[in-house]
Each structure stands twice: as structure tokens, then as C-alpha cells.
Structure 1
Amino acid sequence: MKKHLITGGGILLLCLSLFSSLGFALAPKPTYKNGTEVVKAMYKRWQGKWYPNFQFEQRAIFYENGQVTKEEVWQEIYSQPGLLHIRFDGFESGNGVIFAQDSVYRFQENQLAGKMPQIHPLVLLSFDVYFLKPEETISKLNQLNIDLNKVYETDWQGRKAIVVGANNPADSSSSQFWIDKERLYVLRVLTNSKGSTRDVEINNYQMLEDYWVATEIIFKTNGETTLREEYFNMSFPKSTDKSWFDPKNFSSTRWQ
């Protein structure tokens, strides 16, 4: 009887053939070396596929010492890039804010009560990152004091996540953001201002009209929940009137 000998090289070829036939992917998932690579990957994945306009209402539930202290219904509309108009408890209240040109304008009884420069990290990482050139997003992240040289991978609510701005899970005070590794949308944003840490969880993503949409956001300050937002009546207008985001038009603006 003739014996068939398989050399070392033959064994390797046989194994490769077997893995290929079973459909296994031999190449590992990409590992990002820094936050710059993450931002570029987010932009590449969803450029032209993310929603440029987003209209919704939300239940704003306020907490103090673990107890609900107040509930309101807010009306909001976003338009890329960086435009967000929020009405607190209805248009007739005359209270709300506008985010535009990296500034925030606050209104009380339809009068401008304050203005200050501010890059809104949630607007930047939930929406604008898919419309702005990566270099512009990176510049804004630098202004938010997020160290793009620090990155690691972990788990978050049962999914793989990429963390930018910290080196390990022990660091919960540095400004950082967490991204779903597979879907490349934001999961969590931590910012540190004068020793006070704000931790924002972007939760309960659902597929709506072929778009991924977060339906709950939880705000924590130094570990204590202060606000929970629940989104409803969500839609994606084909266009918006840019005058809605002009502070001069706050009192007369209506989009519903």
C-alpha cells in the first residue's frame, strides 16, 4: 500500500483551504492607532448616508439626589453643520437655546439672556462628524481638550467600543468619547471642566427610516444623574429654513 505523506507546507495549505471553504475571515478587524484614524473612519463610513436634518420632541426629566424634580417636553431641530434650535416646554414659553457658529445663545421670554462661545460635543460627535471634513472635526476635538493620541478598546452595554481620549478604563476623568466599533456612532462623551466631570450616555439606538437614531440620552455630573432625555416624534426633514437658527428670529421661529 502506498503511503501519502503531507509535508509541513502541505499542512498549512490544507488548513488555509479549510478556513477559506468554511468562510472564516483570516484578517483581524481594524485596530485604530489614534483618534485621528477613528474620526476619518467615521466620516468615511457614513459620509452621504447620515441624516442632514433631524426634527424631534423629547421628554426632559430632571433629577436631584436621585429623585425626579421636574419634567418638561422640548421641541428640537438640527441641521448640518452645527445648527441646533431647542425650545423649552413649547414655543409659547419663549425659552430655549440656539447653537450656531460654535456659540450658544440663551433666551428667556423671547429675549436674549446670554451668549458665549461653545463647541457642542454631542452635536459634533452625533451629527457633524459625518459632514465636516475630518480635519475640521479634529480641530474642534482638540479645542475640547480631547487627547487624540490616547485610544483603547473596551465593552459598552454588550458591544465593542473604541475610546478616544484615555488609555484605560481607570481613567474616567479625562475628556473622551466612546464609539461603537462596528457601527461607528457615538455611545458616550465625557468632558472635564475645572474638575467637574460630565458623563453623557447616548443610548437605545434604533433603526428608523434606515437611519441609526439614539432615543435616550442620560447626563451625569460627577457620577450623579441630572437629566434624562427620551426622544419621540422623530423625523428627517428634506430641508430646513436656515433663518430658524438665526438668534434674531428666535421669537418668531416655528417649524411645527
Structure 2
Amino acid sequence: MNLLGRCFLSVVCLAFVGAAFAGDEGGASVIKQMHAKYQNDWFATTQFAQKTTHYDADGKAHVSQWYERIQVPGKLRIDIGPAEDGNAMILADGQMHTFKQGKQVASDRLVSLAMLLGFDVYRQSPDVTLALLKQEGIDTAKVHEESWQGRPVYVVGADRGDLNAHQFWIDRERLLLARIIQPVKDKPGESADIRFLDYRAQPHGLIAARIDVYQKNLLVMAEEYSDIETDVPLDAAWFDPTKLSTPASGK
């Protein structure tokens, strides 16, 4: 095929992709594909240890050990350090409850896109996921394709070249979350670039074992997961902010 023919074919392919995702069905189509691929093969619970590294403005690393437990959909518990210390965050029913030394110090409405698009999307109705995305201000009518870290991805929520809009990137072949770009709370004009890396297969589903967070092109936080277990029994009381029951920290 000559150069003119290849250029024509590329234009046709781009036009086809744009037409395939035209209108409000664009982002809905991606979410429905994600759900359909894994709805019968995704874990209901998971727990893991998390090495959390925060980087200050000078690049100095500050490391802490967290422990996460997730019940899909919608429930998350993070213990910062040993659970018996009472420093925890519990996400349940769309509220994030924060505890310090066993006492609740905050309760805020929160839709965690990492939870929603990394876990919940596979075990709840696409309509529920789409309603929450709309609530968060993501324009699901905007969809295009990019290449990200050598893999094709769907970008939902932004036009091509726009890295400021609230958006998420989905691996086109594996239909897994690759990236979220979202506004930074209380910092107008700033965005967090959250990257989901090192996916590891589980008996049912997959988990990104590393998450990197960038702001202004600088790495500000890294999460590294170990001792990953899925479909394990988790006490419902661990996700009840009125009780703050204490699970064991270690594995």
C-alpha cells in the first residue's frame, strides 16, 4: 500500500472510532464492556498490605505501612499502621469516615474513582457506575483512543490532547483501569495524575499492585501492595463506622 493509501486508511479508522463512540453512549459503552467482561469472574472481597510512600517538595520519601480491606462494591477500610491504634478510614454508603486514635474526626461524602473503576464496576449495574460518574462531573459523551505505555486505551471524559478535564483511561484489550486525571481538592487548577500499574492476576479478577500519583509532573505518592488475598471472609463490622471494630493488622 502506498503512502496516500495508508493515510486514507488511517483517516477512515479514526472516523470509525469516533463514530463508534458518538453521543452519550460513548462512555456508557466502555463501562458496559468492562462489566460484561468480568461480571462473572471478579472477586467479592480482597485484603492486602500497602507500603505507602509520600514524597515532599524536596523529593524526600516518607514511608508508612497501611492495611486495606475491600468489599465490592462500595466498601473500603484502610488502617494506617496497626489496627489497634485506631487510625483508620472507612468508606461506606458514599461517606468517608476518618478516625484518629479511635475517635472519629471527619465524615465527608466521597466517590472514590479508584474504587468505582478499579473494583465496583465489575460487580454492580453499569447504570449505577454511570450515575456516579455523572455525579462526579465526568463527561462520558467524550471518548477517544490513545496509546498509553505501549498499550491502546479508551479515554473517557476529555477531548484528545486535554489533560486537564476530569477523565479516566481504560486499557482497550484488558478493560482495566489504567489512569485517572482528576482535580485536586482545595487546589483550583491543579490535577492529580493517578496511574494503575503492575496488574496481577487473581483466581477471579486482577489487582493493580502499584499506584503512582503525580502532581505537576512530580511523583507525590506511591502505593505498593503485597500479601494480596481475594475472596476472603471479611467481617461486616469492620466497615461499620459506628463500631470501629478492630481486625488484625498482620497476615
Q: Is TM (by shorter chain) over 0.5? A: yes
| 1:178 alignment counterpart | 169
Runs of at least 5 residues in structure 1 that lack an aligned partner in the other structure: 1-27
Mapped pair 1:231 → 2:230: no
Q: Which amino acid aligns with 1:56?
A: F
- Measure how far apart 1:31 and its partner are: 4.9
What CA deviation, in whole Å up to 9, does each residue of 1:103-157 have, x standing for no partner? 1001100100100111111000000001111111000001111100101101111
User: Aligned-pair RMSD on alpha carbons?
Assistant: 1.9
Higher relative contact order (CA 8 A, sep 6+): 2
Bigger CA drift: 207-216 or 238-247?
Answer: 207-216
1:46-195 maps to which residues of 2 (within 5 A)?
46-65=38-57, 67-168=59-160, 170-193=161-184, 194-195=188-189
Cα distance between partner residues in 2 of 1:180 and 1:110: 40
Decide whether aligned partners of structure 1 residues 155 and 66 sit closer, same or farther in structure 2, where only a CA change above 3 A counts.
farther
Cα distance between partner residues in 1 of 2:232 and 2:21: 34
| 2:207 alignment counterpart | 213
Cα distance between partner residues in 2 of 1:114 and 1:202: 28
Task: Give the 3-state SS of the residue equivalent to 1:252 in structure 2.
Answer: coil
Cα distance between partner residues in 2 of 1:144 and 1:224: 25
| 1:198 alignment counterpart | 192
Q: Which amino acid aligns with 1:187?
A: A
Cα distance between partner residues in 2 of 1:243 and 1:114: 19
Runs of at least 5 residues in structure 2 that lack an aligned partner in the other structure: 1-15
Q: Aligned residues: percent identity?
A: 30
| 1:22 alignment counterpart | none
State TM-score, norm by structure 1: 0.84
Query: How many residue pairs get matched?
Result: 228
Decide whether aligned partners of structure 1 residues 31 and 49 sit closer, same or farther in structure 2, where only a CA change above 3 A counts.
farther
- Measure how far apart 1:58 and its partner are: 0.9
Mapped pair 1:245 → 2:245: no
1:27-46 maps to which residues of 2 (within 5 A)?
31-33=20-22, 34-46=26-38
Cα distance between partner residues in 1 of 2:79 and 2:246: 12
Choose 1 or 2 for highest CA Rg.
1
What CA deviation, in whole Å up to 9, does each residue of 1:63-89 have, x standing for no partner? 012523310111110001110000012
Bigger CA drift: 65-74 or 38-47?
Answer: 65-74
| 1:7 alignment counterpart | none
Cα distance between partner residues in 1 of 2:115 and 2:139: 19
What CA deviation, in whole Å up to 9, does each residue of 1:214-241 have, x standing for no partner? 1100112233221100100000134322
